[in-house]
Amino acid sequence: MRMYDLIMKKRNGGTLSDEEISFMIENYTKGEIPDYQMSAMMMAIFFQGMTEEETLALTMAMAHSGDMLDLSDIQGIKVDKHSTGGVGDKTSLALTPMVAALGVPVAKMSGRGLGHTGGTIDKLESFEGFSTGISEEQFKKNVNHIGISIMGQTADLAPADKKLYALRDVTATVDNMSLIASSIMSKKLAAGADAIVLDVKTGSGAFMKTEEDSFALAREMVKLGNGAGRKTVAVISDMDQPLGYAVGNALEVKEAIDTLNGNGPEDFVELCLTLGSYMVVAANKAASVEEAREKLIRVIENKEALEKLADFIEAQGGNREQVYHPERLPKADIIEEIAAPKAGYIERIVCDEIGICSLILGGGRETKDSEIDLAVGLVLHKKVGDKVEAGEALATIHANDRGKLEAAKKRFLDAYTISDICVTKKKLIKGIVTE
């Protein structure tokens, strides 16, 4: 088999066989197919598309390109959750202890933030001493004993995707539905869960800007997950404005803790209950999503989810007292309000710009190796549809550098549009895709 022939076949609109796709991925991972040939193949796929069978074959080949995590030592049905990423998305921090409190084993691999979106691992490191750098053995032991563990993605999880994603990033071939779906799902399949609940974001802060594209991506990923024998559901949720109010690592941790204390923002609570219900049903811990929802509300009310978070933080070296005293999390030196320039109704918030404000303050990473400031960020006070008076606070900004604060503040004000006429609030859950 020759890569040249495969490129030609795809370029001319042909369909690649499972064997051809395996050959291509195996040899690319080993370094035997050069980047320039793979770039040509990605561009051919970009223009010619892939059939369902080809997409599944690509997903499976990438999933098998490295370690396939074996979670069979963990009792119960393991359910993973994945978000396509957004601003203020601290869902895993509150959701995983909620479902774990109901006996759903959570064995999760998470990533760090890059660009305007945050990462669960960075947020968790707001707890003194907390580490995700644990061994696979410790990871499984923690899930069996406490019900929850989160570790950093190992280098050998779907290495073909890692290489290919970096290549797509610099060859203008990222935004193809089949390539995105196979990239995300290859990592999920390699991470070993029995069932997967996907949170596909839609809007200005998301990868997919339109609902139509978000639903199409959701359908594609659900088909791949189910095709690979893992029960998969996708929730399509709004990311046209930040989720909840807090944006920034320790600030988001505090909001997640507030949520487990029964004081969470309405949209954030709704998302946790929706995703959580599907996770609980997938793990056979409730017969219906309605029953699961009731149970999830109860573990917030009786503080079992909060206790579960404290147990999890402690098991990975963190200080559990910060769960009960979130005021002891990292704090910024300068805390100031940003005043509304005029009265009216919030019409629009350019969501990714709010993520960029946090990045400017030092809360995000410009490159893979940047150091981040866990304390900085923003807490919004007004979201789309809210009424505001001139001079009233739109947000509170948390900074450790006056120059960065001024830069972020200017950008923040440019991201808000205030209208004279009443604006309807945004719907959070846009739909559910089950098959």
Q: At which residue do the structure tokens 């009216």 appear?
A: 344
**Helix, strand, coil share of the chain (percent; to 5):** 45, 15, 40
Of 179 and 296, which has the nearer Cβ to ligand URA?
179
Closest CB to ligand URA among 221 and 405? 221
Residue 174 beta carbon to ligand URA: minimum distance, rounded to whole angstroms: 6
88 φ/ψ sector (left φ>0, alpha ψ -120 to 50, else beta): left
Give the range of 51-59, 180-188, 330-338, 407-415 binding ligand URA by CB under 6 A.
180-188
CA distances for 416 relative to 29, 57, 159, 353, angstroms: 45, 44, 40, 9
Under the criterion CB under 6 A, does residue 191 sit at the interface with ligand URA? no
d(C-alpha 250, C-alpha 254), whole Å = 6
Q: How many residues belong to the site for ligand URA (CB under 6 A)?
A: 7
**Structure tokens, 177:** 């539905």
Comparing CB distances to ligand URA, the nearer of 161 and 373 is: 161
Hey, what are 322's tokens? 């910060």
Q: Are 110 and 118 in contact (CB under 8 A)?
A: no
208 binds ligand URA (CB under 6 A): no
| Pair of tokens at residue 393 | 């606070």
Q: Reduced to 3 states, what is the DSSP secondary structure of residue 114?
A: strand
Which residues share a beta bridge with 247?
A: 378
Cα–Cα distance measured from residue 262 to residue 264, given in angstroms and rounded to the nearest whole number: 6
Identify which of residues 45 and 180 has a Cβ nearer to ligand URA in the complex. Answer: 180
Query: Residues 373-412 vs ligand URA: string with x where CB under 6 A?
Result: ----------------------------------------
Please pick, from the candidates 127, 130, 165, 312, the single residue that binds ligand URA as defined by CB under 6 A. Answer: 165
In the sheet that 429-433 helps form, which strands lie side by side, from edge to edge? 79-83, 195-202, 231-238, 429-433
Judged by CB under 6 A, the stretch of 25-33, 172-180, 279-287, 317-325 that binds ligand URA is 172-180
Residue number, 174 or 423, with CB nearest to ligand URA = 174
**Residue 40 or residue 184: which is nearer to ligand URA going by CB?**
184
Q: Please, which residue, 172 or 390, has the CB nearer to ligand URA?
A: 172
Taking CB under 6 A as the rule, does residue 259 contact ligand URA? no
63 in contact with ligand URA (CB under 6 A): no
Residue 244 identity (one-letter amino acid): G
Residue 339 CB, nearest approach to ligand URA (Å): 37
Please state the closest distance from residue 231 (CB atom) to ligand URA, in A: 21
Which one of 115-123, 149-157, 177-185, 331-339 is the stretch in contact with ligand URA (CB under 6 A)?
177-185
E strand or H helix that includes residue 149: strand 148-152
Closest CB to ligand URA among residues 46, 416: 46
CB of 293 to ligand URA, least distance (A): 29
Helix axes 52-63, 18-29, angle to 10 degrees: 30
Q: Does 184 bind ligand URA (CB under 6 A)?
A: yes
Q: Which span (123-131, 145-153, 175-183, 209-217) binds ligand URA, by CB under 6 A? A: 175-183
- Which of 71, 180, 196, 233 is close enough to bind ligand URA by CB under 6 A? 180
Q: Catalytic amino acids?
A: 82, 161, 168, 183, 187
- According to the binding rule CB under 6 A, does residue 183 interact with ligand URA? yes
Asked if 433 touches ligand URA (CB under 6 A), the answer is no
Asked if 196 interacts with ligand URA (CB under 6 A), we say no
Burial call 303-332: b when 16+ CB within 10 Å, e when fewer: ebbbbbbbbbbbbbebbbebbeebeebbeb
Residue in the structure block whose two tokens are 């042909």: 14
Burial class (CB in 10 A: 0-12, 13-18, 19+), 31: exposed
- The span from the CA of 317 to the CA of 294, in Å, is 32
CB of 183 to ligand URA, least distance (A): 3
Pull the structure tokens for residue 145: 């004993």
Structure tokens at 111: 């990533």
Task: List residues binding ligand URA (CB under 6 A).
Answer: 165, 174, 179-180, 183-184, 207
